[in-house]
Structure 1
Amino acid sequence: MTRVQVRGEAVRRFILECVEKHPADITSITAEKFNISRQAVNKHLQKLIGEGVLNQSGNTRSRRYQLTPLIDWRKLYSLAEILEEDRIWREDIAILIGQAPQNILDIWHYGFTEMFNNVIDHSEGTWVSINLNKTAVATEIAIYDNGVGIFKKIQMALDLMDERHAVLELAKGKLTTDPARHTGEGIFFASRMFDHFGVMSGGVYFSHRFDDKEDWIMEREQFSSGTSVWMKLNNDTTRTTKKVFDEFSSGNDYGFTKTVVPVKLAQYGDEHLVSRSQAKRLLSRIDRFETVLFDFHGVESIGQSFADEIFRVFAEQHPTMKLLGIKANSAVKKMINRARSNLDL
């Protein structure tokens, strides 16, 4: 392949990867990125359209581009039937994903079977729907059911304050309402394997994006009952299930020993994290891990009592655990260091 061909491939790959975020100005962005004319970019756009992976709409001034769905498939399953996630994977989903590198198939196999099994065992619904959409860049699977709702079920099972609190517990990992049949690891690991992973139930939406490694929670008006799960993965990712497991596991048995606690999820609205009660809510069940990373991204400040409860009181009660604060600003670091300085005094 010549240098011109390699550069052309790079230009077209950039267009495909960026067109979702820039459907109206992809021409100017690409021209600036590669220092080429708009006419040259247009030739690449027309090539992609001719290959059937991109389409356009609108006239010259309002023209927009978007990825062409190569596969747009959906199917409704009755939960009154005997469903097995591995059979649904093998007979329906794997065929649609098609030929792909083994690491990608492994991620999809793990994520889909874990999420579909959750519906079978936990949803208490009457039906489940699967939507699969594939473009030249990424594949997305959405699973919807009309059951009781995952956050509501966790809230009731653990007697939590509300569904938002259930999201916080879910984000930590090792949470299940059926410990006899489940380890509570599926959602935690799946959320970290995909480029975008989201769960919506009731009026609460939980999201994790791989590129910024952040957990987000939003509250919305409730439109329907049940649970919706979204998983999106780039078709060319080099990520592996082993790499994700290794990040949070230890030993030959891959014990789930490390977790990340998104501290921001403990905040309600504009409230500040100042009390011991708030800290205790954050600390719930983390004694199941050996190492806990408290992620303070998006947290502007914490109070002395909040910091003391985590980094002195709890630390003294659990001397073998590693409690680490990450992504903390200077104000938060100051409070953490103050609490730690009082250890053993």
Structure 2
Amino acid sequence: MSTKSRGNIIRRQILRDVAHHPTDIASHIGQIFSISRQAVNKHLKKLVDDDWLEASGTTRNRSYKLGARRKKVMQVALNKDISEHSIYFKEFSWIIEGLPKNIDDIVVYGFTEMLNNAIDHSEGKECFISFSRDKSEICIIISDDGEGIFKRITRLKDLSDEKQALLELHKGKLTTDPENHSGQGVFFTSRMFDNFAIFSHDLVFNHNHEIEIDYFSDEHGHQSQEGTTIVMSISVTSDRIDIGVFEQFTAGEDDDFSFNKTIIPVSMARFDKENLVSRSQAKRLLVRLENFEYVVFDFKNVNSIGQAFADEIFRVYRLRSPSINISHDNANTDVLKMIKRAESDL
């Protein structure tokens, strides 16, 4: 075994054992590997310098504990007998110990929701999990070898294509198993974390809290990602709270946190560089809106729309679904003209 490999093994053992040997870790590790206290101290110094450990006290009375930098990687066999909560609290909860409650709440929600999706829906055999933390952020990767989230939604919901599946996922309340799932996990997780991305086959979906419009694309020219990979991160100093995110999508007077509102980026109805002019394009946005009481069409990055497109949403659909409160946001002058023209015929 090379010196480098042996060093890595020793340092991993230190990180595993330091919680139970905070004051005698040097002698403990020395006994395990038959090395001197001086040799152990070199490993301890490196771990402290790299933020894996935090040291306190004088040389004689020095104690150690886990530092700001923490990580665990593991492979999980996917079957109905495993529990996402058990895996989290047994294997990963220690990584965020000491962080504020709002971060803890968001991380537990996002991790368990995304792992549960892999267990219940992916039809995969294995799931790779990487959970890391440093001084600035927490990053979680959950990757399964199943069918792929967009392919599965397209097949089971009988949608036109996988891009439509991505749009439906963005709206929220989308599930392929309504008896056991509400369809809210991906929607709310993507909005609780600072950055949330889904990679599956040739499609990428990304929600970043610093960008107003969600990003999605065909990854042509890149290696196709089999199954589904979720990557999510959040700053350790974030002041976001889970209840605050739920409230953003609760509208009306009832104080019951009912998920009754969705915001639809109109630009997501546009594939490639096509203009939004037809009723068929509008109908992409109107699928499943009966699940919501309040719908906001966000025209950010949309410079113009056609008369038929506007008429289908702001006159035809309103007449067909009068119980749904439809509004719009970020519409420029040209778009507003088309909307008002459609509304004038109500």
Report if TM-score (shorter chain) is over 0.5.
yes
Counterpart for residue 19 of structure 1: none
Contact 1:138 1:232 survives alignment (8 Å): yes
Measured on the aligned residues, the alpha-carbon RMSD in Å equals: 1.8
Q: Secondary structure at 2:205's aligned position in 1?
A: strand
Is 1:235 the counterpart of 2:241? The answer is no
Counterpart for residue 293 of structure 2: 290
Contact 2:80 2:120 survives alignment (8 Å): no
Is 1:279 the counterpart of 2:282? The answer is yes
CA deviations 1:258-281 (Å, max 9, x no partner) are: 001121111111111111111111
Q: Secondary structure at 1:225's aligned position in 2?
A: strand
Partner letter of residue 102 of structure 2? N
Contact 1:173 1:188 survives alignment (8 Å): yes
Q: Which runs of 4+ in 1 moved over 3 A?
A: 50-54
Contact 1:69 1:133 survives alignment (8 Å): no
Task: For 1:128-167, list aligned pairs within 5 A.
Answer: 128-167=127-166
Counterpart for residue 262 of structure 1: 265
Counterpart for residue 319 of structure 2: 316
Deviation of 1:310 (Å)? 0.2
**TM-score with structure 1 setting the length:** 0.78
Is 1:248 the counterpart of 2:285? The answer is no
CA distance in 2, matches of 1:123, 1:230: 16
Counterpart for residue 340 of structure 2: 337
Deviation of 1:327 (Å)? 1.7
Contact 2:249 2:261 survives alignment (8 Å): yes
Counterpart for residue 192 of structure 2: 193
Counterpart for residue 307 of structure 1: 310
Counterpart for residue 95 of structure 1: 94
Alpha carbons of structure 1 residues 277 and 332: separation in structure 2 relative to 1, 3 Å: same
CA distance in 2, matches of 1:171, 1:220: 18
Contact 2:79 2:119 survives alignment (8 Å): no
How many residues were matched structurally? 281
Is 1:168 the counterpart of 2:167? The answer is yes
Counterpart for residue 124 of structure 1: 123
CA distance in 2, matches of 1:133, 1:304: 50
Of stretches 121-130 and 291-300 in structure 1, the one that deviates more from structure 2 is: 291-300
Which has the larger Rg? 2
Partner letter of residue 72 of structure 1? K
Contact 1:292 1:324 survives alignment (8 Å): yes
Partner letter of residue 276 of structure 1? R
Q: Secondary structure at 1:332's aligned position in 2?
A: helix
CA distance in 2, matches of 1:113, 1:312: 41
> What residue ranges of structure 2 are gaps of 5+ in the alignment?
1-47, 53-66
CA distance in 2, matches of 1:192, 1:224: 23
CA distance in 1, matches of 2:111, 2:337: 43
Deviation of 1:205 (Å)? 0.3
Q: Secondary structure at 2:214's aligned position in 1?
A: strand
Give the share of equivalent positions with the same residue, in percent.
43
Match of 2:331 among 328, 332, 336: 328
> What residue ranges of structure 1 are gaps of 5+ in the alignment?
1-49, 55-67
Alpha carbons of structure 1 residues 99 and 166: separation in structure 2 relative to 1, 3 Å: same
CA deviations 1:217-275 (Å, max 9, x no partner) are: 01114523100001110101111001010111253432111001121111111111111
CA distance in 2, matches of 1:227, 1:89: 19
Partner letter of residue 244 of structure 1? V
